[in-house]
């Protein structure tokens, strides 16, 4: 039986290889200051609400707890750490002054759930806070320490809140009436009404699909806005950068024609000629052949020169069934971007940063692929 949490699922949707390296191979990522900061704020809020009687701890006790349990890992310098600590202190003081005036005991704090979706998949996680409402229903509150406030679209499509609603309905058997993302920076709650049964089904289907893909060992790297990740040396899009820096060209002595130095200048030469539009010349075709050969032998998909990088894209014929695509894009409001189901526009959605990960995943699962020829795409390194 596969057990998944929301954060594992979102990593998989962003990049299946990153999921594997992180959760299957258990490679350890260096600590990040934003995780430490978020965790320090969450712990302090848990302390504030985890009381047995309606009287909250005093402001002094609250801030003392914050200071004693401050997580220091991942900050770039003592100065940066101090700045964040003081920012958190100010934020928590503001929070305390607003929310302890009418302090009520929550129904649950850091609610730990784990339930079966079907015989193969379980979902687990923690909900920051569940409040009982006068009507008898409950409100889910999830604290967020990210900088930007939330748009209505984000609030209404947030899958984490949908899964929390399902978890409460399944495990506590209580009706969820309000879903809130609490934006700590501005001390503002952003709330939406409960999800509909069809929204719940859509997210549960996605969890089941992701769990199925993980069980089937589908761990292809997927380039995304957050690349390179902490594990990029294990990814065939970024491994060459390390080989280049360390001078450890793999496959040396296996008879490949170009050495490390050669590949770096070869990449630059190829890209420069492409930029000058020398398409089809003997020189460019010869460089292209060497680049492809090297990448194939070393199982790489990207090479780095001094000034350019080239990415190997295996030309694929991608096709979708029109009806499948309509059913997927219409509810997400994306159908107008592929009028008449132009196959190349659908393929463009797969590569577009603003296509939601779950839609990308769905389009990937629906497409029919057949192998084509290689393309070597170049890009200037910034």
Site residues (vs ligand SF4, CB under 6 A): 15, 17-18, 221-224, 227-229, 231-232, 235, 237-238
Q: Return the axis-axis angle of helices 33-49 and 78-99, rounded to nearest 10°.
A: 30
d(CA 26, CA 6) in angstroms, rounded, equals: 17
In whole angstroms, the minimum distance from the beta carbon of 21 to ligand SF4 comes to: 7
Nearest CB to ligand SF4, comparing residues 11 and 211:
11
Nearest CB to ligand SF4, comparing residues 89 and 232:
232
In whole angstroms, the minimum distance from the beta carbon of 256 to ligand SF4 comes to: 24
In whole angstroms, the minimum distance from the beta carbon of 27 to ligand SF4 comes to: 11
Nearest CB to ligand SF4, comparing residues 313 and 345:
313
Nearest CB to ligand SF4, comparing residues 91 and 295:
295
In whole angstroms, the minimum distance from the beta carbon of 364 to ligand SF4 comes to: 14
The region that residue 110 occupies, defined by phi over 0 for left and psi between -120 and 50 for alpha, beta otherwise, is left
Locate 352 and state its tokens.
């577009």
Nearest CB to ligand SF4, comparing residues 229 and 287:
229
Residue written as token pair 């290689």:
374
Q: Which residue is nearest to ligand SF4 (CB)?
A: 235
Nearest CB to ligand SF4, comparing residues 185 and 234:
234
Nearest CB to ligand SF4, comparing residues 105 and 223:
223
In whole angstroms, the minimum distance from the beta carbon of 239 to ligand SF4 comes to: 9
Nearest CB to ligand SF4, comparing residues 15 and 346:
15
């Amino acid at each position: 039986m596969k057990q998944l949490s929301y954060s594992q699922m979102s990593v998989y949707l962003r990049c299946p290889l990153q999921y594997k390296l992180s959760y299957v191979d258990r490679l350890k990522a260096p600590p990040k200051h934003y995780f430490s900061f978020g965790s320090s704020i969450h712990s302090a809020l848990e302390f504030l609400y985890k009381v047995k009687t309606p009287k909250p701890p005093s402001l002094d006790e609250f801030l003392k707890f914050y200071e004693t349990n401050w997580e220091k890992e991942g900050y770039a310098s003592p100065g940066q750490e101090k700045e964040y600590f003081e920012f958190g202190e100010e934020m928590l003081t503001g929070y305390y002054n607003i929310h302890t005036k009418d302090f009520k005991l929550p129904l649950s704090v850091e609610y730990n759930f784990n339930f079966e979706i079907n015989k193969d998949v379980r979902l687990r996680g923690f909900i920051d806070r569940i409040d009982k409402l006068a009507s008898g229903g409950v409100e889910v509150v999830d604290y967020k320490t990210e900088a930007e406030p939330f748009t209505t679209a984000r609030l209404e499509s947030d899958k984490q809140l949908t899964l929390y609603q399902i978890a409460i309905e399944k495990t506590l058997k209580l009706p969820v009436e309000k879903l809130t993302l609490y934006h700590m920076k501005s001390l503002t709650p952003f709330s939406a009404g409960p999800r509909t049964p069809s929204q719940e089904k859509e997210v549960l289907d996605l969890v089941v699909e992701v769990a199925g893909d993980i069980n089937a060992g589908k761990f292809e790297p997927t380039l995304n806005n957050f690349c390179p990740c902490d594990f990029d040396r294990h990814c065939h899009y970024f491994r060459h950068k390390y080989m280049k820096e360390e001078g450890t060209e793999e496959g040396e002595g296996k008879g490949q024609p170009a050495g490390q130095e050669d590949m770096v200048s070869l990449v630059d030469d190829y890209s420069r000629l492409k930029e000058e539009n020398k398409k089809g010349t003997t020189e460019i075709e010869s460089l292209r052949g060497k680049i492809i050969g090297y990448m194939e032998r070393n199982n790489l998909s990207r090479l780095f020169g001094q000034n350019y990088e080239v990415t190997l894209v295996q030309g694929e014929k991608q096709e979708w069934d029109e009806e499948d695509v309509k059913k997927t894009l219409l509810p997400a409001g994306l159908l107008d971007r592929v009028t008449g189901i132009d196959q190349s526009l659908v393929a463009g959605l797969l590569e577009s940063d603003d296509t939601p990960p779950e839609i990308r995943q769905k389009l990937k699962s629906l497409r029919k692929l057949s192998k084509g020829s290689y393309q070597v795409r170049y890009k200037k390194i910034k």
